[in-house]
Structure 1
Amino acid sequence: MSERLRNGMREARRESGLSWERFARDVGFSPAYLRNVENGNRAVTADVAAAYDRVLQSGGRFARTLAADGPSSAGWDEDGAALTVLAELVDGRRVDRRSFVTAGVALSASAGHWAKALGRTRPGPPAQAGGGPGLLANIEHRLDHLRRVDDELGSGEVRKQAAGELSLAVTLLKTGRYPGAASTRLYRIASEAARQVAWCSFDQGRHGTAQRYFDASLRASAEAGDVIGGAYALSFAAVQCYSTPGQADRAVALLDAARAAVRGQGTPRMEAMLAARTARALSKTGAKTATGHQLHLAHAALDKGSRGNDPDFLYWVTYGEVEMIAGSSALDLGDPTEALRRFEAGMRAYPGDEEFPRSHAIYLARAAEAHLALDDLDAAVATGRRAAACLGSVDSARSASQLKGLRDKLAPHTAYHPVRDFLEEAG
């Protein structure tokens, strides 16, 4: 960052005659934070430059200088980099429209930096919602609620709400009013909020944006020493990678990094989730034996039962979910009969269409594809109708794309009137 900009900000502040306390109060940041900005220990972000312009009435000079310097390239080793990146996301400066493949490369780099950063941070206990400052507990409970809203309604509205919670967490961090354990807790909150925004962005087809928020989530988790939360974020970043043509190997690498980090700290349910998603990534590479081994590990981990220290966010990791993943994997590996067997087992154990309609729509569409592969058009149409009913008012580009893929595969069979009727219903 340009020393000219920092010097100009410092000189203008001094010329204003305002005391540090008065200036910091008017700007909206703590005096310690602003001193670090002016001394070069923290990056000058867009919101800081705009606040200096506003209080010092400099006509936008600092914001223009910052824009000319370009967006922050805060490295992982830089003091305060996590907060810098989070703040830039909140104020809209870190917008990225990179492609699928480029995002996969960037996510791999983020995972490597995350693993190294954890080695420099003292790990804290797994994040759990609970007591402490009332405001922080309320944010945690709202994020927990948003996870369940996402299950039922999809990602559109949830993304907005999660972005709001992230903005609040960043604002609280910037004030410096929450030191020590409370600051660590805020970084954990920011990590989960950023993960939710990332996941919702991916579900809405905004893949470059998703990568940016996954990166921020990992940075915040490393700042908090939150190995479990960071590994959870990596597992969702892996879904983005294995859903991208040619990026399945990167997904496996992300999941390997997550498993290495939680070794000795994770619960059986965490192990099951990571193994199941590794299986799904491996199925995209055609590695049938390795896929089967990971699914076995997932089942074996669930067989150990729940633990009191299971993270709350793993509520969805069940035998039914693992079976659905197994069905999807078998379909990709060219075994529709095994896929249907797994899907049927998963649906027997699954909570049902109402609790997880978006995920159920995706799995039902895949089951319909398995019926189609076995030339059972009636079953394919019936299952496709169930998938469409599940999707209903759910806001999910990913689910809609899965259903569209099924319709495209049914299109050559329009001579059969049930297929034609189903496709005409879709309009």
Structure 2
Amino acid sequence: MSERLRNDLRQARRDSGMSWAQFSQATSFTPAYLRNVENGNRSLTIDVAAAYDRALRTDGKFEKELANAKAAPSAVPWGQDGAALTVLADLVDGRAGRVDRRGFVKAGAAMSASAGGWAGALGIARPSAPVESAQSAGGTALLVNMAGRLEFLRRLDDELGSGEVRRQASGELSLAVTLLKAGRYRGTAANRLLRLAGEAARQVAWCTFDQGRPGVAQRYFDASLRASAEAGDATGGVYTISFAAVQLYSTGQADRAVALLETARSQLRRHSTPRMEAMLAARTARAMSKTTAKAATGRQLRLAHDMLDRGPQDDEPEFLYWVTRSEVEMIAGSCALDLGDPAEALRRFEAGMRAHPSVDEEFPRSHAIYLARAAEAHLVLNDLDAAVAAAWQAAACLGSVDSARSSSQLKGLRVKLAPHAAYRPIADFLQAAAG
């Protein structure tokens, strides 16, 4: 659709008889920019389509076509060879589009469908990949370097938040798609590249959600799952689903999140490891706590701790470095707060902080969210001094972090503190936060 629309734009411009100078003046875009759009070197955006409509007097034709293309779900069948590259290339080409951030229910339904497609596609028997090969001696080294950069971005996301990381991960995704299109890699090397593309898409998805755009994020989660299925990478797909589940339970779709995580577990089979099980159990507990399922939440948290008690395993995926006893305790605190037990929430938050004393330096975004929740728990217990102290700490953690999700958590805390503004320390915090 994107390529056909670009061709239509080019032909309509030519049919108008306008020179590039005239057309540039009519659209308010430079000729060089528009040439790149028509040639596919720049994304075709709604603004550009609307400019063509304005200059060519086509009554919104191109804008409507592009909007419909961006809003439509992917028609690429699951399990079809090469489907993952088609979907990934569409994203790189700008097909994710401007999805209404309020459309999170539609995004949730689409995510559930993606998980089902992923589970089915993993079960499709594929021929064994031939021996790894690349067309140049440095080919496999490039894959190693790309994997290292994606690992760096995972860590950077912990410290800086999602803004810059999304841009960098998008660049890695674009590079992976370019290499896949070129057919430079064969056999297991091509599978490795597809896995890397899936991880890059997952990172873009997570960062996009963290920036408050769940509709667009869903498209990248879907692409990541398609890449993992085609590469036979069940572990990578499970990891993607675990992050998609966070988006679902954070946008009021906890039941969908639980179902999504069950789908992930059903596909682990022999690929499971204790830390992976701990992560899935902890996130299932978090989703269940939002449905007020207290007993089920407790069972999942106990399972998470039991899995971590097994200690480090040689085959644990490196990307699970953050799944620690501290993190599980912090999740348990959030669960307790949602289940109406602020005292238990504080006990768990404090245990999590004791288990990882440097958590504020290594994971400032997550720590800010947990501090904000601790402040809410203190507030419920009417300990205003402790509440405002935790609020100040949360604000300090967010000082250098770009995260709409964390900022939203702090904004919600300010709303809850506002009724207590007669208390001077809280008034001072609210005034400082407003400035």
TM-score, normalized by the shorter chain, greater than 0.5: yes
- State how far apart, in whole Å, the 2-side matches of 1:122 and 1:290 are: 38
Where does residue 76 of structure 1 map in the other structure?
Answer: 78
- State how far apart, in whole Å, the 2-side matches of 1:146 and 1:262 are: 25
> What's the secondary structure of 1:285's corresponding residue?
coil
> What's the secondary structure of 1:399's corresponding residue?
helix
Change (3 A) 1:124 1:304: farther
Deviations 1:79-133 (A, max 9, x none): 32111000000010232514111111000000000000000045999xxxxx981
- State how far apart, in whole Å, the 1-side matches of 2:111 and 2:276 are: 21
Where does residue 89 of structure 2 map in the other structure?
Answer: 87
Q: TM-score, normalised by structure 2?
A: 0.80
- State how far apart, in whole Å, the 2-side matches of 1:133 and 1:215 are: 27
Where does residue 58 of structure 1 map in the other structure?
Answer: none
Larger deviation: 89-98 or 67-76?
67-76
Where does residue 326 of structure 1 map in the other structure?
Answer: 332
Where does residue 13 of structure 1 map in the other structure?
Answer: none
1:234, 1:254 within 8 Å by CA — same for their partners in 2? yes
Paired amino acid for 1:190: A
1:195, 1:214 within 8 Å by CA — same for their partners in 2? yes
Where does residue 224 of structure 2 map in the other structure?
Answer: 217
Where does residue 366 of structure 2 map in the other structure?
Answer: 359
Q: CA offset at residue 265 of structure 1?
A: 1.4
2:69, 2:95 within 8 Å by CA — same for their partners in 1? no
- State how far apart, in whole Å, the 1-side matches of 2:373 and 2:80 are: 45
- State how far apart, in whole Å, the 1-side matches of 2:423 and 2:415 are: 15
For structure 2, list consecutive stretches of 5 or more residues without a partner in the other structure. Answer: 8-35, 42-61, 130-137
Q: What are the equivalent positions in structure 2 for 1:1-400 lying under 5 Å apart?
A: 50=39, 70=69, 73-98=75-100, 99-121=103-125, 133-245=140-252, 247-350=253-356, 351-400=358-407
> What's the secondary structure of 2:359's corresponding residue?
coil
Paired amino acid for 1:229: G
> What's the secondary structure of 1:149's corresponding residue?
helix
Deviations 1:223-259 (A, max 9, x none): 10000000000000000000012x1000001100111
Paired amino acid for 1:396: S
Change (3 A) 1:372 1:51: closer
2:160, 2:400 within 8 Å by CA — same for their partners in 1? yes
Paired amino acid for 1:304: R
Q: CA offset at residue 174 of structure 1?
A: 0.4
1:124, 1:226 within 8 Å by CA — same for their partners in 2? no
Change (3 A) 1:138 1:322: same
- State how far apart, in whole Å, the 1-side matches of 2:139 and 2:275 are: 26
Change (3 A) 1:273 1:219: same
Larger deviation: 116-125 or 267-276?
116-125
Q: CA offset at residue 341 of structure 1?
A: 0.4
1:154, 1:394 within 8 Å by CA — same for their partners in 2? yes
Q: CA offset at residue 264 of structure 1?
A: 2.5
Paired amino acid for 2:123: G
Where does residue 402 of structure 1 map in the other structure?
Answer: 409
Change (3 A) 1:80 1:414: same
2:289, 2:297 within 8 Å by CA — same for their partners in 1? yes
Paired amino acid for 1:408: V
Q: CA offset at residue 266 of structure 1?
A: 1.2
- State how far apart, in whole Å, the 2-side matches of 1:305 and 1:121 are: 34
- State how far apart, in whole Å, the 1-side matches of 2:39 and 2:139 are: 33
Deviations 1:6-51 (A, max 9, x none): xx9xxxxxxxxxxxxxxxxxxxxxxxxxxxxxxxxxxxxxx9x947
For structure 1, list consecutive stretches of 5 or more residues without a partner in the other structure. Answer: 9-46, 53-63, 126-130
Where does residue 12 of structure 2 map in the other structure?
Answer: none
2:285, 2:300 within 8 Å by CA — same for their partners in 1? yes
> What's the secondary structure of 1:78's corresponding residue?
coil
Aligned residues: 367
> What's the secondary structure of 2:184's corresponding residue?
coil
Q: CA offset at residue 219 of structure 1?
A: 0.2
- State how far apart, in whole Å, the 2-side matches of 1:123 and 1:395 are: 44
> What's the secondary structure of 1:74's corresponding residue?
coil
Fraction of identical pairs, as percent = 71
Q: TM-score, normalised by structure 1?
A: 0.82
Paired amino acid for 1:101: V
Paired amino acid for 2:300: Q
Change (3 A) 1:204 1:70: closer
- State how far apart, in whole Å, the 2-side matches of 1:362 and 1:155 are: 14
- State how far apart, in whole Å, the 2-side matches of 1:297 and 1:384 are: 31
Q: CA offset at residue 263 of structure 1?
A: 2.5
Where does residue 21 of structure 1 map in the other structure?
Answer: none
Larger deviation: 349-358 or 363-372?
349-358
Q: CA offset at residue 76 of structure 1?
A: 1.2
